[in-house]
Structure 1
Amino acid sequence: MSKMIFVNLPVSDLSASMAFYTALGFTNNPQFTDETAACMVWSESIYVMLLTHAKWASFTSRPLPAKGASEVMLAITCDSHASVDAMNQAAGKHGGTADVNPMQDMGFMYSRALADLDGHIWEAFWMDPAAVAGAA
């Protein structure tokens, strides 16, 4: 089995969060979706599990972070500058927050951060394939 990541996120409104992540380009895997959780797919190896607060509490007794707090920033690759911009714009258009951190353009790498409906921070970024290969 290849390595995969499942990011688990507590959400206050499961259906609204599903719509938000769909607008960002994720697809839903109904096999792992019910009234308490939704599996949103970014790639063959990256999945986001959106969990109602009650479902989240069944996995941990630790409290949810306070509103406005940052616990992690999840970085996710995009195919181009334009796709980074499109994801950021979709976040703002669909109830999230665009540009929660300053945009970064280092030439070989370009990123913009956004927050989902519950304040989870994502950094959409593009990196020049030549830089990834070590040629830049």
Structure 2
Amino acid sequence: MSRMIFVNLPVADLSASMDFYSALGFVNNPQFTDDTAACMVWSEAINVMLLTHAKWRTFTDRPIPPTTASEVMLAISCDNREAVDSMNEAAAANGGTADINPIQDLGFMYNRNLADPDGHVWEAMWMDMSALSSDTQPG
């Protein structure tokens, strides 16, 4: 099996969160979806598990942070600058908040941060790898 990541997020309204992530371009995997959880797929390797608060509490006793808190910022790559902009527009139009931090435009890299309806922070980013010098590229 290839390596995958499943990001687990507690959500107050499962249906609204599924609609939000669908609007951003995630696709629901019904195999791992029921009335307590939904698997939203970003790529073959990246999945987001949306868990009702009751389901979340079966995994941990740790408190669910308020929507104004930030535990982590999850960065996901987009195909181009326009896709970054579109993701932020979709976030704002579907119950989330666009541009919770200043837009970062370094020419070769462009990103905008958004929050989902539960305050989980995402960084939509695009990077032009060809603009980097060979000594700064990974690998």
Q: Mark yes or no: TM-score above 0.5.
A: yes
Q: Which amino acid is the alignment partner of residue 97 of structure 1?
A: T
User: 1:66, CA displacement in angstroms?
Assistant: 2.5
Distance 1:2 1:75 in 2: 21
What's the C-alpha RMSD, in Å, of the aligned pairs? 1.5
Q: Percent identity?
A: 71
- Measured against aligned partners, the alpha-carbon deviations of 1:88-108 in whole angstroms (never above 9, x if no partner) come to 000001110000000000111
Partner of 2:68: 68
Partner of 1:7: 7
Distance 2:8 2:100 in 1: 21
User: 1:5, CA displacement in angstroms?
Assistant: 0.5
Change (3 A) 1:6 1:129: same
Partner of 1:36: 36
Distance 1:61 1:20 in 2: 26
Q: Which amino acid is the alignment partner of residue 116 of structure 2?
A: D
What pairs up with 1:33-112 in 2 under 5 angstroms? 33-112=33-112
Partner of 1:114: 114
Question: What TM-score, normalized to structure 2?
Answer: 0.94
Q: Which amino acid is the alignment partner of residue 86 of structure 1?
A: S
Unaligned stretches of 5+ residues in structure 2: none
Unaligned stretches of 5+ residues in structure 1: none
Change (3 A) 1:60 1:84: same
Distance 1:3 1:22 in 2: 23
Q: Which amino acid is the alignment partner of residue 125 of structure 1?
A: M
Q: Which amino acid is the alignment partner of residue 75 of structure 2?
A: A
Which deviates more from structure 2 when the two are superposed, residues 63-72 or residues 53-62? 63-72
Question: What TM-score, normalized to structure 1?
Answer: 0.96
Distance 2:9 2:133 in 1: 32
Distance 1:129 1:66 in 2: 36
